[in-house]
Amino acid sequence: MDNPFDMHDKESASGAFLLPTDGEILEGFLCPICKRDLRTPERLTVHVEHEHSEEQDLLKSLKEIFSIARQGILSKGKKKPSQPGGTDGSEPSAPRLGSESGVAIGSAGTANNPLLQPGCNQTIGCSCEHMAYFKAVRSPRLERYAAETNKLIIRLDKLLDGLPTEPDQKKRHEQSKVPWIDGKLVKLCPTCAKSFGITRRQHHCRVCGSVMCESCSRYLTLEEAGRLVNPTAISPASAVPLQAQSDAQPVNETSHFRVCEHCMRLLLIRMEMQDWKRERPLVRQYYETLRRERTDIEPHIGMYRRILDSLYDGDVIYRLSDASTLREKIGRSAEKLDNVSKSLQTLRSAVGSREDALKKAIRLGCISYIKEQMLSIPPLPVEEEIKKVQLRKRQETERRLERERQLALEAFERLELQSGGGSVDSSLHDRQNGSSSSSSTASTAEMTNGRYGAAVSTMDNWTGTQTGPTSNATSDPLIDQINIVKGYIRQARAALRFEEVATLERNLSELTQEFYYRQRSEPVDTKPIPEAQ
Amino acid sequence: MNVIRAIQMYIDKMISDAGPGMKLLMMDRETISIVSMAFAQSEMLQKEVFLFERLDSVRSNEKLKYLKCIVFVRPTKDNIFLLQQELQSPKFGSYYIYFSNIIPRTDIKILAESDEGESVQDFKEIYADYLPVNPNLFSLHIPTCLQALNWNPEALERSTQGLVSVLLSFKFRPAIRYRSGSTAAQTLAKKVHETINKETALFSFRPPEDGAAPPLLLILDRRDDPITPLLNQWTYQAMVHELLTINKQRVDLSGVSGVPKDLKEVVLSTEQDEFYANNLYANFGEIATTIKVLMDEFQRKANDQRKIESIADMKNFVETYPQFRKMSGTVTKHLVLISELSVQVGQQQLFEVSELEQEIACRADHSTQLQRVKRLVSEGKISAANALRLVLLYAMRYERHANCDTSGLLKLLQDRGGRSYIAPRMLEYISTVARQELFNTVKITDAVKLTRNLIKELKGVENVYAQHECVLKGTLEEVIKGRPLDAQYPIMGNEVPFRRPPAEVIVFIVGGATYEEALAVHRYNQEGYRIVLGGTTIHNSESFLEEVLAATVGVPFKHSRSLQQFHQAPAGTA
């Protein structure tokens, strides 16, 4: 295998962690022949298969590496069944009785209660959709109304354009813009069906030109008309309840348009829609803040519980400081929720009104959310306790590894004995190797325990002394990968993205394990060959 | 098959379909009970439903355009009209309309034409049109459903809709059987059958695989088993209903002395109250023990309070606060209930009454029983209501007995101010089937029953207060065992009856179900069967007697001619 790291490439310099041995280093899934970064093992394999099909042995070795890595991951999954998330049952019960017993009672109760057990496979019942038909009926009507309303608004625009202030002139102007119906043809008021006479005079709707009596007339202020014609121009502050004005009989004809009931209704609907679009009441703004805060913090609460579980489990993925920063954040968020909902409640509104009730309900909902979701989170664990758990776990792992190694050694020795004498050397060598592996697990534990920065050089030194040819060690893409992952972890932790921290940590420990596995196996694999020669 | 779950899923869907944002839920008289039986208000708050209003009550005209309005109402003419008005002058930004049952197309059209502001965003039928009482029990809350022993048309309409919605919420297209001889059951069965055949699109579920029997809808008649609602009960839920009355999960304790202020009305919900869910069917004695355990636990936690020494302890305590408070609330509530029950048991001498009730219901021993009833009724230690029930049981049991002395007992009852006029009405209420089958336990045909009774007597009765078994239990036994049903429970329509027993059964009792029957269903469900019970309402003895009186208004006295002197209610009553 030729060394792919002899060549320099400018593209690859981004974010590389330098090994102490030599200059520039490439990272990622690099093709050993053309030095391209393929990013994933699959793509790399495919690439080699297609581009460099002549170098069969290379391809083979590549595939081997990946299969080894995969095995490592798989066996790791088996060895550690208690990864965060699946730890509910097996956690040590002692330290958490206080907060958890209530929950435990709850879940046990539900599990035991035969009444509550169905529903797991019960699906939601039938429903029948009518919106399509509803729309089919609604849309032609809406379209017709929209067209009519638009016509009215165009007329309003014409009326407003150069409107004289003198009543007589105004009337003439109005009549010139909208053709009025001939009053002689209409004997009865079309709205109230009463006959016209001296006491009940005829009036004309200024926008559609139809006839009605005085009591059936409605009035649209010029201001409102202006707003309808040009909705963006007028500030919402000038919005006055329309209904109140049109009910009161205006004395002064000049500031209003007389309209019929039908037109008034159409214009009212349009005006309401315009208002609604413009309106952004404070209640809503506050509520949106609340909602955002809640959706932001919700994943953190879940994460906090998971971190605690993992800590109590003795895992080393998270640190206690992680939990405490997260807890602080949740506390701050609870405070903010409380404050916002409080200030929402102090907004002015009439007592007993719908808005008042709404604000109270929001505040109530907020309080119960804070109480039940945010304040009920379990307290931080004590540091010594965690350390104890971790220590115990580490010791357990070490014991197990020791045992496994012992077994393997015994098996190997048996094999050696069977194959005949003269293998003292190799068995001795093997023992040496074994001891180094135990130290390696110790350092793995240490490393994953949190001392990242310094770990690389010691690792490198160690490998350097073990295996003679340095080129092999320094060019190991695994080390690069390990360094990259560590950098990511640091960044993710700073950003409180613990989901990612967990995945990266898992990734990292897989990588380190694979790394040591390979370090250990190489001498065994390579050395017998020169001996045979 | 869990009716509460079915309703909850519908409501959840309804709310989540409206999307995020502040919401208002608009309901009517009936749907508000449906929603409240499925969810607590605090749960609704967490679903962003902050306001609740009734469509059919006076409402303010205040407009809150930033609210989403979820309308969940029954498809009645009144509701359509009110909704039409609401849409013509919308108070809220958008409307999500859900009808709790099948709505005629013309009504959809009316509403669509009223929606001039284009504010309706969704329009659906969801079939949550019944009250979920227990996971296995639903009610339609129709207090009296018969008039002159036949359907009250409104009640029939409502029952049909209710049953159809139950079927749709479980996605069942069932085989329908009804009690032969009961016109009420038959009419309802026919109505439901017609609706299923009319709404083929809705009921087009995949038939069960590999020829399994379809679900069974079994419609029964209360008139066939008038005994069960008259007996005193000793299981928790049934007892609370009998002595304190549960009305839509709520128990009114305002009449009880020494009740804390916040417990004037308590909610008994299997969903929100775990203790209740676990002890629904426990009997009186067991409950006392359980509550003791709960108390001890509470005490233990309360003692923790005193042991608080450091700030850390205090924090710990506060952090467990929600559970703590929840638990303390539960304990006090059930303590109050249980103590009130035991007061009532003592005052009314219920042990003695109940033992005699059970005796009359289960064993024929005329002279002894007559003596005991006479003594209890005349002594005046027991309440008039209990005396009435004893007399009613006696009257039904020994109606044809040569030495039947119902009129003598009624006289005694009348003397102490009891409502003796109910007895003749009751005798008219019970059906022919009940008259023939209910008490003829000592027939030769019932050899099995006879020997079983014998064995029982030899072994000694386990619990004298729970000897009686409701008719429903036997019926379900036959259904489950796959015995031939066609003679007693003919199938509606011309479907070919299945030999195999059905996997799911919905039982509906015209004239109301009882909690004792719910217990029977619960026991079967524990064995792994899937049965849901429903009734026009859930009866205790008092509400049942009212139903009997309402059902027999204007019915000629056929069977109780000999009791003529008691036919008329004294002036001023009934």
Q: How confident is chain A (533 residues) per 10-residue block, as mean pLDDT?
A: 44 40 52 63 63 56 56 47 38 36 35 40 87 93 89 87 82 83 83 83 86 86 83 53 45 74 86 78 87 88 85 78 86 90 84 86 89 79 81 87 88 77 47 45 44 41 40 64 84 79 83 81 50 41
Q: Are residues B121 and B139 in the same domain?
A: no
Give the rounded distance of the alpha carbon of B322 from its chain centre.
Answer: 32
Mean pLDDT check: name the lowest of A277-291, B25-39, B43-57, B338-352.
A277-291
Average pLDDT over every residue of B410-424? 89
B168 in contact with chain A, both atoms CB, cutoff 8 A: yes
Check B125 against A141: CB less than 8 A apart: no
CATH homologous superfamily for the domain A133-231+253-278:
Zinc/RING finger domain, C3HC4 (zinc finger) (3.30.40.10)
Amino acid code (one letter) for A77: G
Q: What does DSSP assign to residue B294? A: H
**Neighbour-count burial of A134, counting CB atoms closer than 10 A to its CB (0-12 exposed, 13-18 middle, 19+ buried):** buried
Mean pLDDT check: name the lowest of A399-403, B433-437, B533-537.
B433-437
The yes/no answer on whether domain A475-519 falls in CATH 4.10.860.20 is yes
Instruction: Tell whether B281 is covered by a domain.
Output: yes
Rounded percentage of chain B residues whose pLDDT exceeds 70: 88
If you search the block for the tokens 């029983």, which residue do you land on?
B369
Instruction: Tell whether B385 is covered by a domain.
Output: no
Cross-strand pairs, B23: B49, B68
Are A304 and A334 spatial neighbours (Cβ–Cβ below 8 Å)? no
Taking alpha carbons only, the member of B142, B139, B146 closest to residue B548 is B146
Does the pTM surpass 0.90? The reply is no
**Neighbour-count burial of A200, counting CB atoms closer than 10 A to its CB (0-12 exposed, 13-18 middle, 19+ buried):** middle
Sheet strands (E) in A405-450 = none
Which residues of chain A from 286 to 315 reach within 8 Å of chain B, CB to CB?
A: 287, 291
**Chain A nearest C-alpha distance from B249 (Å):** 16
A122 in contact with chain B, both atoms CB, cutoff 8 A: yes
Amino acid code (one letter) for A162: G
Average pLDDT, rounded, for chain B: 86
Tell which of B293, B314, B348 closes a domain: B348
Taking alpha carbons only, the member of A330, A317, A430 closest to residue A373 is A330
With CA atoms as reference, the chain B residue closest to A285 would be B66
d(C-alpha A472, C-alpha B210), whole Å? 66
**Chain B nearest C-alpha distance from A414 (Å):** 57
Q: Are residues B95 and B110 in the same domain?
A: yes
Q: Are residues B146 and B116 in the same domain?
A: no
Q: Are residues B148 and B82 in the same domain?
A: no
Q: Look up the domain containing B221 and give its range.
A: 133-225+470-539
Is residue B184 over pLDDT 70?
A: yes
Q: Are residues B329 and B258 in the same domain?
A: yes
| CATH number for B87 | 3.40.50.2060
Give the rounded distance of the alpha carbon of A390 from its chain centre.
Answer: 31
Q: Are residues B479 and B516 in the same domain?
A: yes
Q: Are residues B39 and B116 in the same domain?
A: yes
Q: Are residues B123 and B16 in the same domain?
A: yes
B270 in contact with chain A, both atoms CB, cutoff 8 A: yes
Instruction: Tell whether B449 is covered by a domain.
Output: no
Rounded percentage of chain B residues whose pLDDT exceeds 90: 47
d(C-alpha B203, C-alpha B34), whole Å? 23
Check B120 against A118: CB less than 8 A apart: no
Give how many domains chain B has, as a whole number: 3
What's the N-to-C CA distance of chain A in angstroms? Answer: 20
**Neighbour-count burial of B309, counting CB atoms closer than 10 A to its CB (0-12 exposed, 13-18 middle, 19+ buried):** exposed
Point out the residue among B64, B124, B324 whose CB comes nearest to the CB of A128: B124
pLDDT tens by residue, A53-86: 555 555 555 555 555 555 555 544 444 433 333 3
Is residue B348 over pLDDT 70?
A: yes
A124 chain-B contacts, CB cut-off 8 A: 6, 9-10, 13
B10 chain-A contacts, CB cut-off 8 A: 124-125, 127
Cross-strand pairs, B217: B176, B506
Q: Is A209 left (phi over 0), alpha (psi -120 to 50) or beta?
A: left
Check A126 against B136: CB less than 8 A apart: no
B307 in contact with chain A, both atoms CB, cutoff 8 A: no
Q: Write down the ipTM of this complex.
A: 0.84
Point out the residue among A269, A283, A379 whose CB comes nearest to the CB of B319: A379
Tell which of B100, B127, B154 closes a domain: B127
Which residues of chain B from 199 to 258 reach within 8 Å of chain A, CB to CB?
A: 202
d(C-alpha A234, C-alpha A225), whole Å? 11
Q: Which residue has the higher pLDDT, B182 or A110?
A: B182
Contacts of residues B254-262 at CB distance under 8 Å and 24 or more positions apart, as own/partner, are B256/B336, B256/B340, B259/B336, B259/B340, B260/B332, B260/B336
Q: Which of B26, B34, B49, B66 would best serve as a mutation to test chain A binding (most A beta carbons within 10 A)?
A: B66
Predicted pLDDT at B361: 85
Token digits of residue B42: 């605090």
Q: Are residues B170 and B192 in the same domain?
A: yes
Predicted pLDDT at A447: 44
Point out the residue among A112, A116, A142 whose CB comes nearest to the CB of B135: A116
Is residue B187 over pLDDT 50?
A: yes
Q: Are residues B54 and B165 in the same domain?
A: no
| CATH number for B168 | 3.40.50.1910
Check B45 against A133: CB less than 8 A apart: no
Average pLDDT over every residue of B335-346? 86
Predicted pLDDT at B103: 94
- Residues 6 or more apart whose CB falls under 8 angstroms from that of A443 comprise A455, A458, A459, A462
d(C-alpha B552, C-alpha B222), whole Å? 13
With CA atoms as reference, the chain B residue closest to A128 would be B125
d(C-alpha A139, C-alpha A129), whole Å? 17
Question: How many of the other CB atoms lie within 10 Å of CB of B176?
Answer: 27
Check B6 against A127: CB less than 8 A apart: no
Query: What's chain A's Rg over C-alpha atoms?
Result: 40
Point out the residue among A109, A125, A131 whose CB comes nearest to the CB of B278: A109
Predicted pLDDT at A327: 87
Predicted pLDDT at B316: 60
**Chain A nearest C-alpha distance from B539 (Å):** 21
- For residue B387, give Cα distances in angstroms to A43, A67, A254, B234, B243: 89, 85, 84, 18, 15
Average pLDDT over every residue of B295-306? 65
**Chain A nearest C-alpha distance from B541 (Å):** 26
Q: Are residues B263 and B301 in the same domain?
A: yes
Question: How many of the other CB atoms lie within 10 Å of CB of B375?
Answer: 11
B72 chain-A contacts, CB cut-off 8 A: none
Instruction: Tell whether B567 is covered by a domain.
Output: no
Residue B432: which pLDDT band, with cuts at 50, 70 and 90? confident
Point out the residue among A126, A138, A145 whose CB comes nearest to the CB of B112: A138
* Orientation angle between helical segments B321-347 and B350-362, nearest 10 degrees: 70
d(C-alpha A361, C-alpha B44), whole Å? 10
Point out the residue among B5, B20, B117 whose CB comes nearest to the CB of A119: B5
Taking alpha carbons only, the member of B522, B540, B538 closest to residue B2 is B522
Q: Which of A99, A123, A128 would best serve as a mutation to test chain B binding (most B beta carbons within 10 A)?
A: A128
Instruction: Tell whether B343 is covered by a domain.
Output: yes
Average pLDDT over every residue of B314-334? 65
Tell which of B348, B374, B397 closes a domain: B348
**Chain B nearest C-alpha distance from A123 (Å):** 8
Q: Are residues B8 and B109 in the same domain?
A: yes
Question: How many of the other CB atoms lie within 10 Å of CB of A52?
Answer: 15
Predicted pLDDT at B96: 96
